[in-house]
Amino acid sequence: MATTDQSSTEQETTGQPSSEPEGGPLERWAQSLVTNKDKRDRLYKLLFYVAAGFFLVTTLFPFYWLLVLALTPNSQIIGGDWGVPIPFVGTEIPFPHPQGFNVHAFVEVFQQVPFHLYVFNSFVLATATTIIVLAIASLAGYVFGRLDFPGRGPLMLAVLVVSYFPPAAFLVPLFDAFLGNAIVVPFVGWELISAPRLVNTPGSMIMPFSALFLPLAIFILTTFYAQIPDGLEDAARVEGTTRLGALFRVIMPLSAPGIATAAVLTFISVYNEYFFSSIMSLQNQPEQWSPLVGGILSYQDQYTTDFNLMAAASIIGVIPVVIIVILAQERIVSGLTAGALKE
Amino acid sequence: MSTENQPSGPARESKRSGPLVRIVRWMENLGETGFAYFLLTPVFLVLGTIALYPLLRTFELSLYTNVLSDPEFVGLENYVQLFTGEADANLPGTTTFLPGGVTTSGSFPFVHIEGVLRSALIVTLVFTVVSVFFETIIGFGQALVLDQDFRGRRWVRAAIIIPWAIPIVIQGMIFYLMFHPDTGFLVDYLGPLGIIAQNNTLNDPASSLLIVTVADIWKTTAFMALLILAGLQSIDRNLYEVARVAGASRWQQFKMITLPLVLPALGIAILFRTIDAMRVYGLIDSVSGCSTVPSLSCMVVMTFNNSRGLASAIAFVTAALIGLLVTVVIYQQYKEGL
């Protein structure tokens, strides 16, 4: 960016390109940039490739590092010498690469702790939450996107505000309730029903997840529903379909991309969630419905020196989302921008 | 769509009777407003019980003593103890978070806050400001790259999105492994330069704060980039054509067209990220443990088992801080006319 700035200001000040070579080589080079458009375009192209390469390396290197650690036998990791030099344009630069090829680590991950159970729990929780969120949000999205009624604006704001509050602000009362204590109406003191003891069950996680991720799904679906032309719905209604019938048979099928978008984003969000996932399952045991978070943390807490297994477990945990990102990239991009920019 | 069952649909319905049909018929007769509120009932139920109720109850609990059964009403006592540092004995975390004069009493600008809460405020604000700042700059760069047409654009975009999509616990694990003195090669490079502590890197507050900030930038820049990219792509390409004909340089085009037109999207992206960064918990917990780098959310989690009143007070302070930012968002929405 600095070079572009320089060249443009020079263009302004010198005005006429002068061919006399004054100053050092840098100045002459800048001068030639000003006069030669081809050269300038080449520089932009080069800058572009440098930037693209830089972003690729910085985003992907940490995953490469996981692979290096997973493949290196653990005995070599501790106190290992990572500065293994590799030749690079005449000189040698230190670059970490695997010291060995220990694929067995990927099997050991499942033997050390029941890692597959944690992943299974994550999938169950994510799927259940996605279904609940979609069921509620598709109705709400329809209302906000297609109906005009008093209170629409303030209600949408209220939903938006809820999505901003930190999970920590919900923790103490929710934890109390999930322990089986009575639910007390705030500031009045009336004791309502006491919920069953929900900690260590899927309910204690699915409920907060639904509340946390419902607003985003609502906003995505509102955007998509609003885009469907009124004529289609009117036609269905004239033919005698009920309002709900029009919603389920005309509008929902037409906004299938929106529903898919909301589903993908909700699933990823639950799969990635940390706060309630790590708290509501008290001992992080798979029998207590502890999801992926518990599996990874159990390596950090119990098998504190099995670094290769930590890396291997992380790679296994990442694979599902990498597949989702590669398959549903367009959905993620449109969902994030629709959810954030429209409202 | 479903033309074949449409003629028979209403006819069938009118003949049948039963609870389901009666409900459907009742809904058909509702006015538009009634129908809207009826469909919104599940949303009210979920958000009311799982978000609104806990929020109000948190505030109520923060006015009571810490004991679990039959707590006494103490008014704002918990807040007073928090802000004066009297509650420090009951709080985990470190009062000497940042080295040097930053922690000496009374030097905090604007408000006089003592003790652990102050270090949590500092941690949260420093983390938020620094990470959002760099995410904006790097995200802008990524968005400019993705805005070009080139072969493999899809794959570059996927690569940039992947860090955003991975679980927080794995993000934490990656940076834990990169900076663990036993495994992390980065400690070997950055340690001697004095950037991070060479021994017990992940137990050193300042080093850990730096590491979690970098980790956050690595993961969430993609979010910024995608929002900015959406802003970039909504710009009318003809504007650039006109500018080129008028002889504007690329830098001028960027300054006069791109930047002003992308600014609204950028503003929303920054606000979203700021609010999100202020809630940081999982990343810190999995990289260095909450007591090394106590953010506000960390403090709530660490105290809620033993001191419910204090934990609720901290939670409410966090919520109030974020509420301030939310007010800004709402004001923005209001100005644009929701």
Chain segment B147-179, per-residue pLDDT in tens? 888 888 888 889 999 999 999 999 999 999 888
Half-sphere exposure of A207 (CA within 13 A, CB side): 22
**Which has the closest alpha carbon to B289: B20, B116, B109, B92?**
B92
Token pair recorded at residue A207: 């409920």
Q: Does domain B77-336 fall into CATH 3.30.390.30?
A: no
Q: Are residues A191 and A336 in the same domain?
A: yes
Residue B231 burial (CB count, 10 A): 23
Residue of A nearest to B218 (CA): A59
pLDDT-derived band at B92, boundaries 50, 70, 90: low
pLDDT of residue A16: 46
**Would you state the torsion angle of the CA atoms of residues B115, B116, B118, B122, taken in this order, to the nearest 10 degrees?**
140
Chain A residues closer than 8 Å to B60 by CB = 186-187
Q: Out of A2-11, B38-47, B82-91, give the one with best mean pLDDT.
A: B38-47
Q: Is there a domain that residue A16 lies in? A: no
- B59-70, pLDDT tens digit by residue? 988 888 877 777
Q: Are residues A135 and A191 in the same domain?
A: yes
pLDDT-derived band at B121, boundaries 50, 70, 90: confident
Q: Which of A59, A211, A245 sits opposite B162 (nearest CB)?
A: A59
- Provide the domain limits for residue A35: 2-10+22-94
Q: Is the ipTM of this complex over 0.90?
A: no
Q: Where does a domain end: A94, A127, A150?
A: A94
- Say if A243 is an interface residue toward chain B (CB within 8 Å): yes
- Cα–Cα dist B42/A266, whole Å: 18
Q: Which of A48, A166, A218 sits opposite B297 (nearest CB)?
A: A166
User: A295 near A317, Cβ under 8 Å?
Assistant: yes
> Using the 8-state DSSP alphabet, how is residue B17 labeled?
-
Q: Which of B6, B29, B30, B57 to mutate to test the interface with A (most CBs of A within 10 A)?
A: B57
**C-alpha angle B84-B107-B89 in degrees, rounded to nearest 5:** 30
Of residues A236 and A325, the one with the higher pLDDT is: A325
Q: Are residues A286 and A156 in the same domain?
A: yes
Cβ under 8 Å to B: A residues 258-287: 268, 271-275, 278-279
Q: Out of B27-31, B137-141, B264-268, give the one with best mean pLDDT.
A: B137-141
Of residues A232 and B88, the one with the higher pLDDT is: A232
Helices marked H in chain B: 8-15, 19-28, 32-47, 53-61, 77-84, 115-146, 153-165, 168-179, 185-190, 205-233, 237-245, 250-253, 259-277, 282-287, 296-303, 308-336
pTM for this prediction: 0.85
Mean pLDDT for the stretch of residues B100-127: 62
Q: Which of A6, A41, A272, A283 to mutate to test the interface with B (most CBs of B within 10 A)?
A: A272
Q: Is there a domain that residue A99 lies in? A: no
Q: Is there a domain that residue A15 lies in? A: no
The values of phi and psi at residue B78, to 5°, are -60, -40
Residue A197, domain CATH? 1.10.3720.10
- Cα–Cα dist B327/A56, whole Å: 37
Q: Is there a domain that residue A134 lies in? A: yes
- Say if A172 is an interface residue toward chain B (CB within 8 Å): yes
User: A193-197, A280-284, B63-67 — which is least confidently predicted?
Assistant: A193-197
**C-alpha angle B151-B266-A53 in degrees, rounded to nearest 5:** 30
Q: Is there a domain that residue A264 lies in? A: yes
pLDDT of residue A118: 92
Q: Which of A136, A273, A279 sits opposite B42 (nearest CB)?
A: A136
Residue B177 and residue A241: Cβ atoms within 8 Å? no
Q: Are residues A116 and A239 in the same domain?
A: yes
Mean pLDDT for the stretch of residues B23-38: 81
Q: Where does a domain end: A62, A94, A126?
A: A94
- For CATH 1.10.3720.10, list the domain ranges present in chain B: 77-336
Q: Is the pLDDT of residue A263 over 70?
A: yes
Q: Are residues A78 and A134 in the same domain?
A: no
Q: Are residues A155 and A51 in the same domain?
A: no
Q: Is the pLDDT of residue A342 over 70?
A: no
**Which has the closest alpha carbon to A295: A323, A322, A281, B287?**
A281
- Cα–Cα dist B239/B225, whole Å: 22
pLDDT-derived band at B5, boundaries 50, 70, 90: very low
Q: Are residues A89 and A121 in the same domain?
A: no
Mean pLDDT for the stretch of residues A282-308: 85
